[in-house]
Structure 1
Amino acid sequence: MEKLKNVERLLLNNKAWVAQKVMEDKHFFDHTSEVQKPDFLWIGCSDSRVPANEITGTEPGEIFVTRNIANTVIHTDMSMLSVLDYAVNVLEVNHVILCGHYGCGGLRAAMGNKQHGLIDNWIRHIKDVYVLFQKEIEAFETPQEREDAFAEFNVIENLFDLSQTSIIQNAWLKRGSPWLHGWIYDLKSG
């Protein structure tokens, strides 16, 4: 019964949010129900502590979002590629933000040797990034510094992988955009 109350809380929160939005702008939902034209695509981590709209202060319709474990760009991930294609070629976003974060559980799992089950297939790509930058990562003194460095290298490598997709390459040839941005979010400071 307690778990059901958690779902009810979400529904009540939605009602309160709707009331607040209508109070601020009575035409809010009229505008958001029209065609979306975001300027940004966000490729982020699935971590519940890194919600794109919340941390960027954007409203519904301003940022198109896809998320996966450790903000990973894999050329065989049809879900991410479909979102990327739609954002770049249909919505014509001008910016793609690939945002990683410190304290990422997916990266922590990739740094270790423990087996996790099905997720190991996903983590394999992340482990490859770790191996690629292992010398640089291990040069840091503390485990926390190494983990933070890995988060940064993971963004760099996945941003490179993103730049190599045919979707981005063709968009650059056709219209000279979108701009690609690599970000790191710090859970401790925002």
Structure 2
Amino acid sequence: MGNKALEESFDEILKGNKDWVNFVKEDQSGIFKQLAKGQSPDILWIGCADSRVPANEITGRKPGEVFVHRNIANMCVHSDISMLSVLDYAVNVLKIKHIIVAGHYGCGGVAASLSRKQFGIIDNWLCHIKDVYRLHAEEVDAIQDEEKKVDRMVELNVKEQVFNLCTTSIVQNAWKNKQDLAIHGMVINIGTGELIDQDCTFDSNEDLGKVFAYQ
């Protein structure tokens, strides 16, 4: 590379890896040797791509204990083959027991969805969040403070994505086969680190509504 600043920042990445390699080498717990043989997490975390919300640290879990999928604003879109592939592997191969859909207050994707600005190709993704606004427009529009409006939309978005996840054929079939599987919606307060339960947990399709609950 000809850009010195880029070279220096890349060197920091490589140095960080060397430090990690030394840490792994000196670790006496045996966890990394075990991880090299495979993984057996019991949690699938569907979170935002925001760099401030790492799943393992927030849940206090060790490497290998959380299977993770992240995208802009922690969306569970029925046509997203990437999310569905992760979900299918987690549920049907890893046999995870809990799926956490985790939003976070101050989410830039959610804030962008409430504006009328164009941001580029991401506008097509934000349309899915705008659909959440459409369902809850009266409540959201009644909030005058912009920060509180975004935060309420974060909560509503999490609940809608939990519902979307529950209605996938993957989750429906897991429940049909009596697999132990619970879907939870949570919101992270980045300032405090708190993971706030949104009280929208499902462990069967009984409360989804007749047309969404497959037989």
For normalisation by structure 1, the TM-score amounts to 0.95
| CA distance, structure 1, for counterparts of residue 133 and residue 188 of structure 2 | 19
Letter in 1 for 2:22: A
Q: Matched residue of 2:67: which SS?
A: strand
Find the counterpart in structure 2 of residue 4 from structure 1. Answer: 7
* Alpha-carbon RMSD: 1.3
Within a 5 Å distance, the mapping from 1:1-190 to structure 2 comes to: 1-25=4-28, 27-190=30-193
Ranges in structure 1 where 5+ consecutive residues have no aligned partner? none
> 1:20-70 CA distances to partner (integer Å, 9 max, x unpaired)?
233332633211111211000000000111111222222221000000000
| CA distance, structure 1, for counterparts of residue 57 and residue 89 of structure 2 | 23
Q: Matched residue of 2:96: which SS?
A: coil
| CA distance, structure 1, for counterparts of residue 10 and residue 177 of structure 2 | 46
Give the Å deviation of 1:7. Answer: 1.9
> 1:83-106 CA distances to partner (integer Å, 9 max, x unpaired)?
000000000000000000011111
Give the Å deviation of 1:189. Answer: 1.5
More relative contact order, 1 or 2 (CA 8 Å, 6+ apart): 1
Question: Would you say how many aligned residue pairs link Structure 1 and Structure 2?
Answer: 190
Kindly indicate whether the alpha-carbon contact (under 8 Å) linking 1:22 and 1:28 is maintained by their aligned counterparts in 2. Answer: no
- Percent identical across equivalent pairs? 49
> 1:107-146 CA distances to partner (integer Å, 9 max, x unpaired)?
0110000011111110111111011111112232311111
